[in-house]
Amino acid sequence: MKANENNNNDLDEQSVLKTRMKKIKHKIAIISGKGGVGKTLTAVNLAISFALQGHKNRVGLLDADLHGPCVPKMLGMDEQKLRVGPVGAFPAVGPLGLKVVSMVFVLEGPEVPVVWRGPIKMRAIQQFLTDIVWGELDFLFIDLPPGTGDEPLSVMKLLPELDGVVIVTIPSEVSQNVVEKAITFSKQLNVPIIGIVENMSGFICPTCSNETQIFKTGGGQRVAEKHSVPFLGRIPIDPRICEASDRGHPFILENPDSPAANAFAQIVDKIKKYIQNKEKP
Amino acid sequence: MKANENNNNDLDEQSVLKTRMKKIKHKIAIISGKGGVGKTLTAVNLAISFALQGHKNRVGLLDADLHGPCVPKMLGMDEQKLRVGPVGAFPAVGPLGLKVVSMVFVLEGPEVPVVWRGPIKMRAIQQFLTDIVWGELDFLFIDLPPGTGDEPLSVMKLLPELDGVVIVTIPSEVSQNVVEKAITFSKQLNVPIIGIVENMSGFICPTCSNETQIFKTGGGQRVAEKHSVPFLGRIPIDPRICEASDRGHPFILENPDSPAANAFAQIVDKIKKYIQNKEKP
């Protein structure tokens, strides 16, 4: 009896998940093998770029990094909470009508850790997709934690219709081995790879304008070529990125003419072309 | 009958774990809330520093980052494998007799991802501690993946005698929220916090010598003061760190007089004092 009830609940949940997700035209996950490569920065600025370019109020951003959620801080939304209604919880609303869901909106304080093992994490991500009233969206971006463990596996399993993944890396060779794992992981799970972004690619000194390759350069492109995966672009190091992120302002909105914003614009173009090609009959 | 057998196996494993771990005088885990903050860099250079300062052949380094293991690459050991003997597997041996264990030594190639959920990860870490013949060591450093999930939980559960954790962060405010989670996590699990290291703290242009705060500065110290946790030191950004790591040479061995190496030396002194104070009757 108990088992049957559970099965029925599972079926109900699956159909709710399907109904909710059908209203979202495109879903793109941002992954990386290694942490601290600018995955969240990429996710936030991609979401804002798409909202800016004709999709205002129609872009969602799921912060699926349960242990280290940073999306709300970068969008100046860390004081917000999820509003709960009879049909589910509603995402918090950020700049340009961006709909955002994050553990930050659920936890009691920023210093509270999420001390969860794998199975509970799978459950949490399922709830973020099933119990949240995302509404009609053109795009949902999913910011996943680094690595190839429970959270990415859960998202790929729950969303077989995923348009693809954007893989973020930094140019150092130490990172290259790890980004190759992310490529193999996506291929094994049959998830299309939209392309690779190389972040923190060179630093131009604001005083003397000389460039230093703090983490080298070109590593992302080399890995892309080696594995026949598209290369989306190279984002340079800019201290204003950290500064804007810390103040909760999306970098590309504050510095639209910077080299880093131009790099983001080119990446967005390539993702748009990928989606258009996919939609062609 | 089956259950009893399992229980006996569990008991056997626990007693093997205890016997192996008794031969290691001190165990220190390196953790962070956020990825990419230089946790592995810190673990590698701490292990090398202790080996240099009177503990040659008596330091171990466990790379417990199962999804993104980077320790072997940074030590130029990525071609090595674990040697297996009748009593267990033996660690690979690196510079200064450093005994290293990593998923890299087990996987078939650098691009192979470890697509494991939580429970298997717990098991893998247990095996790294139980089935490896670590031998007599003065120190075992454990490089944990970012976050507060399965791997750190497993290590804290399996090693209640842990001397403490070193928490690594970068100075940005976005990172501060996440490092606070790591502090709360350690306190909840009653694991002593040896202190906080602030990595990537300021960059001095090699051309004009002007300093740029790429990720700001002082964030680590502020969090340490706020939570009454020792602050161990500030490591500046130095392109030679990435370059040496990529070539597999420990940075402090190649650049012993650099500001970053001096910062590491001060951090080592503080950890030594912490251990000495602990050993006092």
Closest CA to A89 of A48, A131, A122: A131
Q: Which residues contact A259 (CB under 8 A, 6 or more apart)?
A: A204, A236, A238
Quick one: pLDDT at residue B8? 65
* Residue A2 confidence (pLDDT) above 60: no
Quick one: pLDDT at residue B115? 85
Q: What percent of chain B has pLDDT over 70?
A: 97
Which residues, in sequence order, are bridge partners of residue A139? A26, A59
Considering only CB atoms, A145 lies closest to which of B78, B147, B245, namely B147
CB contact under 8 A, A115 and B188: yes
Strand order in the sheet with A24-31: A92-93, A99-102, A59-63, A137-143, A24-31, A164-169, A193-198, A231-234
Quick one: pLDDT at residue B29? 97
* Residue B129 confidence (pLDDT) above 60: yes
Quick one: pLDDT at residue B49? 96
CA-CA distance, B164 to B144, in Å (whole number)?
Answer: 13
Closest CA to A69 of A93, A45, A105, A23: A105
Closest CA to A44 of A154, A192, A166, A185: A166
Question: If 0-12 CB within 10 Å is exposed, 13-18 middle and 19+ buried, where does residue A149 land?
Answer: buried
**Residue A101 parent element (H or E):** strand A99-102
B183 in Cβ contact with B229 (< 8 Å): yes
pLDDT in tens, B222-242: 999 999 999 999 999 999 999
Would you call B218 an interface residue with chain A, using a CB distance cutoff of 8 Å? no
Averaged pLDDT of chain B: 91
β-strand pairing of B193-198 with B231-234: parallel
Angle between the N-to-C axes of helices A39-52 and A259-279, in degrees from 0 to 180, rounded to the nearest 10: 70
pLDDT in tens, A69-128: 999 999 999 999 888 888 889 999 999 999 999 999 988 888 888 888 888 888 899 999
**Residue A27 parent element (H or E):** strand A24-31
What are the φ and ψ backbone dihedral angles of B194, each rounded to 5 degrees?
Answer: -70, -40
CA-CA distance, B214 to B203, in Å (whole number)?
Answer: 7
Averaged pLDDT of chain A: 91
pLDDT band at A51 (very low <50, low <70, confident <90, very high): very high
ipTM: 0.82
* Cα-based torsion angle of the residue sequence B236, B238, B242, B245 in order, rounded to the nearest 10 degrees: -80
pLDDT band at B221 (very low <50, low <70, confident <90, very high): very high
> Which of A272-276, B85-89, B271-275 shows the lowest per-residue confidence on average (mean pLDDT)?
B85-89
Please, what's the largest Cα pairwise distance for chain A? 74
CB contact under 8 A, A178 and B68: yes
CA-CA distance, B134 to B91, in Å (whole number)?
Answer: 7
Cβ-based contacts of A145 with chain B (< 8 Å)? 35, 146-147
Considering only CB atoms, B182 lies closest to which of A70, A113, A214, namely A113
Considering only CB atoms, B68 lies closest to which of A34, A118, A188, namely A34
* Residue B2 confidence (pLDDT) above 50: no
Question: Would you put residue A168 in left (φ > 0), alpha (ψ -120 to 50) or beta?
Answer: beta
Would you call A42 an interface residue with chain B, using a CB distance cutoff of 8 Å? no
CB contact under 8 A, B208 and A208: yes
Considering only CB atoms, B214 lies closest to which of A68, A112, A237, namely A237
pLDDT in tens, A219-269: 999 999 999 999 999 999 999 999 999 999 999 999 999 999 999 999 999
Quick one: pLDDT at residue B3? 47
pLDDT band at B7 (very low <50, low <70, confident <90, very high): low
CB contact under 8 A, B36 and A146: yes
pLDDT in tens, B62-100: 999 998 899 999 999 999 988 888 888 999 999 999 999
Would you call A277 an interface residue with chain B, using a CB distance cutoff of 8 Å? no
Question: Would you put residue B90 in left (φ > 0), alpha (ψ -120 to 50) or beta?
Answer: beta
The nearest alpha carbon in chain B to A73 belongs to B174
pLDDT in tens, B171-217: 998 888 889 999 999 999 999 999 999 999 999 898 898 899 999 88
Residue A146: both structure tokens together: 């680094």
* Residue A211 confidence (pLDDT) above 70: yes
* Residue A1 confidence (pLDDT) above 70: no
β-strand pairing of A193-198 with B203-204: unpaired
Decide which of A84 and A183 is more confident: A183
CB contact under 8 A, A181 and B112: yes
Would you call B228 an interface residue with chain A, using a CB distance cutoff of 8 Å? no
Q: What percent of chain B has pLDDT over 90?
A: 72
Place of tokens 């501690």: B129
* Residue A5 confidence (pLDDT) above 60: no
pLDDT band at A7 (very low <50, low <70, confident <90, very high): low
CB contact under 8 A, A113 and B181: yes
Quick one: pLDDT at residue B116? 84
CB contact under 8 A, B35 and A33: no
pLDDT in tens, B130-147: 999 999 999 999 999 888
* CA B244 to chain CA mean position, Å: 18
Decide which of A266 and A12 is more confident: A266
CA distance B209 to chain A (A): 9
